[in-house]
Structure 1
Amino acid sequence: MNLSYFISKRISREQRSGFASTIHKIAIVSIGIGLGAAIVSFLIMKGFQETIQNKIYGFNGHLLITKLTPSNSVDEEPMDFHIDAYDHPEQYPYIRHMQEYAHKTGLVKTEDEVLGVVFKGVGKSFDQKAFRENLVAGEFIDFPDSSHSNQVVISQIIADKLRAKVGDFIIVHFFQNPPRFRKLKIAGIYETNLSEYFDSKVILGDIRLIARLNDWAEGVSGGLEVFVYDPEHAEEAREVLAESTDFDMRIDLISERYQQVFEWLGLVNRQVVILLCIILTVVCVNMISIVLILVMERTQMIGMLKALGGNDRLVRSIFIYQGFSLVIKGLFLGNLIGLGLCSLQYYFKIAKLNPHDYYMSFVPISWHWETVGMLNLLTLMVVTAVLIIPTEVIVRIRPIKAIRFD
């Protein structure tokens, strides 16, 4: 049997009451609170990032393919969207789905309101599953086989301004020469809370309506939205597509188009990492203090062990085992605290947010078990490594003085 481990276990059993027991509990609680705070912070951060990214990607895809044009107009130049990657996406790595789209500006007029909007035309290929979580009322557009649909999906903000609801009709006046208008039925209402980008101006309709207004031929759109399996591989997907598309095509990353939002998410990530460093520092300082107290309390025992022939390594190992035991108990408590609080928020939505400021109505939780495992491993490694520092005091303890120590 390992002698250091055996002595450590005996000491722990003897210290179940009194001052040493209190010190042990303080160590366990400090590690538990620190790890719990780190788990909550990282899972909330992941939730923020994924919620906002999914809203943006669900509305636009991960990449946009458009025709090169010197104009900055919202209305795109027409392009033939039946490229090889659209017809055979399974032959291209990273690409999950492609769908055509087009934009056209206009005005929505009611008896009391006039509102400028961007009409986004989509087709049957539109990924309704990715967008459906944004629907708050009604259904998505029903695309007929013979002609274009007269249904639209508007945002909650636009619906409130127009005092409209599902089933009502709105008249959209499109900017072109000569001007044209269409009477369209509200099929559904969406809400992403990204009002400055989508909700305040974008309504969704049938792309065939835009094609008819623009006198486009069949198989023509304003661009293509590309979905990849993993957003981290969007850049690789762009390189693959660049090799197979014509020179007059432009391929943009959505993360670059909405750079301000993604930079904000990166800033949140850095802040959480800084918080983790602060937590680990506090936990490590606490553990150094606690082990020093334990060493001072057992000075006579250290002197006796050295007098009986025990070397410094043996004696130091005793306190490292003690500290390691406290760390394991602290990790268990930390997981209980962190995962317990996250579970309460995930299932009961206790903490609410202002959606106009945070783009969501409650604090999101995203279950990333690899992140939880990484936090546990990092805390275990850092705090255990730090235990070596206070045990350096043992090297300077002399047996005779230690035995007399009171």
Structure 2
Amino acid sequence: MNFPFYIAKRYIFSKKSTNVINLISGISVLGVAVATMALIVTLSVFNGFSDLVATLFTAFDPQIEITPTQGKTAPADDPVLTEIRQLPQIDVATECVEDQALAVYNGRQAMVQIKGVDDNFDQLTHIREILMGDGTFELHAADIQYGIMGVRLADQLGTGIYFDQPLKIYAPRREGQLDLSDPADGFVEDELYSPNCVFEVLQGKYDSRYILTSIGFARRIFDQQGMISSLELRLKPGSDFEETKAEIKRIAGDSYQVLDRFEQQEDTFRIMKIEKLIAYIFLTFILLVACFNIIGSLSMLIIDKKDDVQTLRNLGANDRQVSQIFLLEGCMISFFGAFIGVLVGLLLCVLQQQFGIIGLGSTQGSFIVDAYPVSVHPTDVILVFLTVIVVGFLSVWYPVHYFSRRLLK
């Protein structure tokens, strides 16, 4: 058995001559455990929110979106896109034309994102599951063009779920010279009618800006005949997603971007990752402060065991082995604190998942979920455990060597 480790283990569990040393050692373990528990719980909450956002996006976003790398649009009959459509793994392919426009209803107006899609958009996404109202997913009927808007946009324009008057849509005219005597001539005007329903994604980006309509309407108002802004895909069940995505990227080359759901919402998930990183850094500083208790505990233990150290030296222990004894004891305090903190943190996460102990608000139903979501990732648990061990070691290494030289001479 390793001699310094054997002695350090005896010291940490043996009774000290002064009870306050036992108390300080217990406080040290408790402090490290609380900091470790806070790291586990906080990172799991961030994971829970990230997973929650990811599930919300799936009702509107396609599995794979292909967009041109240069410019806003690309020819719909591009041979590259045709080859991608014909891949055996593709189940549904939808052409989209998307751009900004001005919506006006009864004197109210708002800048909106018009998204024109094919009639099979409901097969591509789960749009039918997030519709509110008596209507159904319908983009056009004969010459009538319908517009399915987000629930917040409907409230902003005052249309409600059903609007009995046409919704005016204005888009800048792309060709021709502007007649300064008639500024209205610089806009293309068209109308959308109510399909008796709105959608609710529970994300402000969509609910307060987007209007779904037919691709024919979007091409006409944005003057994009024969063009698309994106090609959206759904794979057949059982297809290997990563392998298919790699194949599509190979075919697309440098002309198109191939984005999965997470990459389509890159900004949102990047912000959440940054917030998680900042929380991790701040809590690591708190952990470092908690490790200062270990320094106090070890310094008092060195004083308490001064006579024992002299005995060990008489038995042949050198200064390096003596320092290792107290360094290992500091590491053991960090280890026990980390172990207890991880167990308690995981227990709290399980209780929150099962019973929703800490709610998001006093009124049930005010938020998407009633309690803080948590999701434990094994990589986070390993990261926290290693962080505690490394921080504990670094925080006691210099003090142990300093006190060993000063107090044990």
Q: Is 1:367–2:376 an aligned residue pair?
A: yes
2:212 partner SS: strand
1:84 partner SS: helix
C-alpha change, 1:149 and 1:180, in structure 2 (3 Å) is closer
Choose which of 376, 381, 400 in structure 2 pairs with 1:391: 400
2:299: which partner in 1? Answer: 292
Residue type at the aligned position of 1:187 = C
2:151: which partner in 1? Answer: 156
Which structure 1 segments of 5+ residues have no match? Answer: 402-406
Paired with 1:307 and 1:230, the residues of 2 have a C-alpha distance of 68
2:28: which partner in 1? Answer: 27
Paired with 2:304 and 2:117, the residues of 1 have a C-alpha distance of 74
C-alpha change, 1:49 and 1:332, in structure 2 (3 Å) is same
Q: Is 1:330–2:337 an aligned residue pair?
A: yes
Q: Is 1:39–2:43 an aligned residue pair?
A: no
1:120: which partner in 2? Answer: 115
Residue type at the aligned position of 1:109 = Y
Deviations 1:23-52 (A, max 9, x none): 121111111122122223333444455555
Residue type at the aligned position of 2:196 = I
- CA deviation after TM superposition for structure 1 residue 202, in Å: 0.9
Q: How does 1:53-132 map to 2 (within 5 A)?
A: 59=60, 63-66=65-68, 79-80=76-77, 83-88=82-87, 90=89, 99-103=94-98, 105=101, 107=103, 109=105, 113=108, 115=110, 117-123=112-118, 124-125=120-121, 127-129=124-126
Choose which of 311, 322, 326 in structure 2 pairs with 1:319: 326
Which structure 2 segments of 5+ residues have no match? Answer: 172-186
Instruction: Confirm or deny: 8 A CA contact 1:44 1:366 kept in the other structure.
Output: yes
- CA deviation after TM superposition for structure 1 residue 242, in Å: 3.8
2:194 partner SS: strand
Deviations 1:81-122 (A, max 9, x none): 75222331749xxxx986422236463535x75555433233
2:174: which partner in 1? Answer: none
Moved more, 54-63 or 378-387: 54-63
1:365 partner SS: coil
Paired with 2:158 and 2:383, the residues of 1 have a C-alpha distance of 50
1:14: which partner in 2? Answer: 14
Paired with 1:331 and 1:231, the residues of 2 have a C-alpha distance of 38
2:193: which partner in 1? Answer: 183
Scaled by the length of structure 2, the TM-score of the pair is: 0.68
Instruction: Confirm or deny: 8 A CA contact 1:121 1:208 kept in the other structure.
Output: yes
Instruction: Confirm or deny: 8 A CA contact 1:67 1:77 kept in the other structure.
Output: no
C-alpha change, 1:312 and 1:155, in structure 2 (3 Å) is same
Residue type at the aligned position of 1:350 = G
Choose which of 373, 376, 397 in structure 1 pairs with 2:385: 376
Instruction: Confirm or deny: 8 A CA contact 1:45 1:272 kept in the other structure.
Output: no
Paired with 1:322 and 1:213, the residues of 2 have a C-alpha distance of 74
Percent identity (aligned): 22
C-alpha change, 1:367 and 1:154, in structure 2 (3 Å) is farther
Residue type at the aligned position of 1:202 = Y
Paired with 1:332 and 1:98, the residues of 2 have a C-alpha distance of 50
Paired with 2:151 and 2:324, the residues of 1 have a C-alpha distance of 64
- CA deviation after TM superposition for structure 1 residue 143, in Å: 5.9
- CA deviation after TM superposition for structure 1 residue 78, in Å: 5.8
Q: Is 1:202–2:210 an aligned residue pair?
A: yes
Paired with 2:207 and 2:316, the residues of 1 have a C-alpha distance of 77
Q: CA RMSD in A?
A: 5.0
C-alpha change, 1:170 and 1:263, in structure 2 (3 Å) is farther
Paired with 2:340 and 2:149, the residues of 1 have a C-alpha distance of 48
Choose which of 283, 292, 314 in structure 2 pairs with 1:307: 314
2:279: which partner in 1? Answer: 272
Paired with 1:239 and 1:306, the residues of 2 have a C-alpha distance of 68
- CA deviation after TM superposition for structure 1 residue 371, in Å: 1.4
2:85 partner SS: helix
Paired with 2:196 and 2:251, the residues of 1 have a C-alpha distance of 36
Paired with 1:369 and 1:230, the residues of 2 have a C-alpha distance of 24
C-alpha change, 1:199 and 1:145, in structure 2 (3 Å) is closer
Instruction: Confirm or deny: 8 A CA contact 2:33 2:341 kept in the other structure.
Output: yes
Moved more, 269-278 or 206-215: 206-215
Paired with 2:144 and 2:346, the residues of 1 have a C-alpha distance of 47
1:404: which partner in 2? Answer: none
- CA deviation after TM superposition for structure 1 residue 65, in Å: 1.5
- CA deviation after TM superposition for structure 1 residue 148, in Å: 9.9
Instruction: Confirm or deny: 8 A CA contact 1:78 1:216 kept in the other structure.
Output: no
Deviations 1:250-283 (A, max 9, x none): 5487999988656644642552343144234324
2:359: which partner in 1? Answer: 350
1:268 partner SS: helix
Deviations 1:45-67 (A, max 9, x none): 44455555666686555754249
- CA deviation after TM superposition for structure 1 residue 68, in Å: 5.6
Q: How does 1:188-267 map to 2 (within 5 A)?
A: 188-194=198-204, 197-207=205-215, 210=218, 221-225=228-232, 240-243=250-253, 251=257, 264-265=271-272, 267=274
Paired with 1:288 and 1:159, the residues of 2 have a C-alpha distance of 61
2:96 partner SS: strand
Paired with 2:112 and 2:196, the residues of 1 have a C-alpha distance of 15
Instruction: Confirm or deny: 8 A CA contact 1:108 1:170 kept in the other structure.
Output: no
Moved more, 185-194 or 257-266: 257-266
C-alpha change, 1:286 and 1:139, in structure 2 (3 Å) is farther
